[in-house]
Amino acid sequence: MSTNTSASQGNLSFEDVVKTRRSVRGFLSEPIPKEVLHKVFSLAQLAPSNCNIQPWTVSVASGDSCKQLRDKFVEAVTTGLKPNPDHPRVDKFEGVFRQRQVDTAVALYGNMNIARGDNDGRRRASLRNFEFFDAPHAAFISMPKIFNETVAVDVGMYAQNLMLAMTANGISSCAQASVSRYPDIIRDHFGLDDSLGVLMGLSFGYEDTTVPANKTVVPRANIEDEVLFVD
């Protein structure tokens, strides 16, 4: 049996599920049972969307398929293949957004014992994204290229449903924008039509609690800074 978190050791309240979910960057090799996979993806499918169009297409790699895809990504990155994302990416943040990014990196790299000037360590940590953090499963979420960011909001709600459903069933995950840099690898692997644009990936499985990166818990902004209440 797995040694995953307590999320699988009883029913959690919705509040507990939301508070328990976090990005996990180290997984056990044990696969998720098929019936549990079907359950969490069925729950995710209940996500709301504009006019109920349900614009997401989800491709899941497990077992040998996941290993083959991991190898393809690692080869692309290590050989310097130029990224060609389907959608514009924001890689540079400013102001408070930059500060939050830095604070997260400091916490993560600190737990991984990677010093600020350790460029090799940072490159290795970055490559872990494309190794899916050793997860036994990886999902890739796409939407038709004809849609823009207003429809991508629907896909985001689907992804949140999926991650919360996983958490409620003892499954850990890590949402990844990094893999969307190489959408052709994903389309080729799954035989997807070129009309689909890849938005994100999601590595998932049972958490390996011995991985130092998994000690990282990052704070959230106070709602007073982000939410305006007007009476």
- Binned at pLDDT 50, 70 and 90, residue 127 comes out as very high
Region label for 80, one of left (φ > 0), alpha (ψ between -120 and 50) or beta (otherwise): left
Residue 11's pLDDT is 82
- Binned at pLDDT 50, 70 and 90, residue 223 comes out as very high
- Could you give the percent of the chain with pLDDT greater than 70? 96
Residue 3's pLDDT is 42
Average pLDDT over residues 77-99: 94
Question: Does position 187 have pLDDT exceeding 70, yes or no?
Answer: yes
Torsion of CA 202, 87, 98, 19, to 10 degrees: -30
Question: Does position 227 have pLDDT exceeding 80, yes or no?
Answer: yes
Average pLDDT for the chain: 94
Question: Does position 212 have pLDDT exceeding 90, yes or no?
Answer: yes
- Assign a CATH topology to domain 6-89+131-216: NADH Oxidase (3.40.109)
Residue 89's pLDDT is 86
pLDDT digits (tens, 9 = 90+) for 36-56: 999 999 999 999 999 999 999
Question: Does position 2 have pLDDT exceeding 70, yes or no?
Answer: no
Least confident of 8-12, 50-54, 196-200, 225-229: 8-12
Long-range contacts formed by 219-228: CB under 8 A, 24+ apart: 219/103, 221/100
d(CA 192, CA 172): 26
Question: Does position 100 have pLDDT exceeding 70, yes or no?
Answer: yes
DSSP 173-222: EEEESGGGG-HHHHHHHHT--TTEEEEEEEEEE-B-TT-GGGG-------
Residue 90's pLDDT is 87
Question: Does position 4 have pLDDT exceeding 60, yes or no?
Answer: no
The verdict on pTM exceeding 0.85 is yes
Residue-wise over 100-118: b if at least 16 C-beta within 10 A, else e? eeeeeeebbbebbebeeee
Residue 10's pLDDT is 58
pLDDT digits (tens, 9 = 90+) for 133-169: 999 999 999 999 999 989 999 999 999 999 999 999 9
